[in-house]
Amino acid sequence: MKYIKIILSLLISITILNVWLIRFDNDSIYRGGEATNMIQEFEEYGLNESVVYIVGFFKVSAALFLLLGIYYNKLLFPSALTISLFMIGAVIMHFKVSDELIKYMPSSILLFSSLGIIYLDRFIKA
C-alpha cells in the first residue's frame, strides 16, 4: 500500500505543478468554459485574478508538501485533504458553467486520487 500512496502522490503533485507552473498560460481541452488560460478560466467561473493566485499558491504548496509526504508521512494527510477540497471546488465550478464531462476528468481524477491517499493513510496501515 505504501507504493500506491507514493504513485498517487507523484501523479497528483506532477499534475498540479504542471498545470500551475508550466501550462498556466496554455490552452487545454480541460479548461472551463471557453477559457484559453488559467486567468480566463477563473473569470469564466466568476472569480477575479486575485483568487487565481491565492488558489495557485495553496495548490502548488499542497503539491510540494505531498511530495515531501513521501518521506515525512505526517504531511500526507493534510496535503491530500487540501487538494481534495480544492478539487471538490474545481468540480463544482465546472458544473456551474455547464462544462461537458471531459472537462471534469482531471479534477475528478485528482479528487479520487487524493481521497485514496487519505483512505490509505488513515485506514490501511502497511
Identify whether the C-beta of residue 90 lies closer than 8 Å to the C-beta of residue 49. no
| Amino acid occupying residue 11 | L
* Rounded Cα distance, 64 and 70, in Å: 10
Write down the pLDDT at residue 126. 59
| Grid coordinates belonging to 110 | 485528482
Domain boundaries, the chain: 2-123
H helical segments located in 18-68: 38-44, 49-68
Q: pLDDT band at 124, cuts 50/70/90?
A: confident
Write down the pLDDT at residue 28. 95
| Grid coordinates belonging to 41 | 478560466
What is the per-residue pLDDT across 41-83, written as a single tens digit (0 to 9) for each? 999 999 999 999 999 999 999 999 999 999 999 999 999 999 9
Q: What is the pTM of this model?
A: 0.94
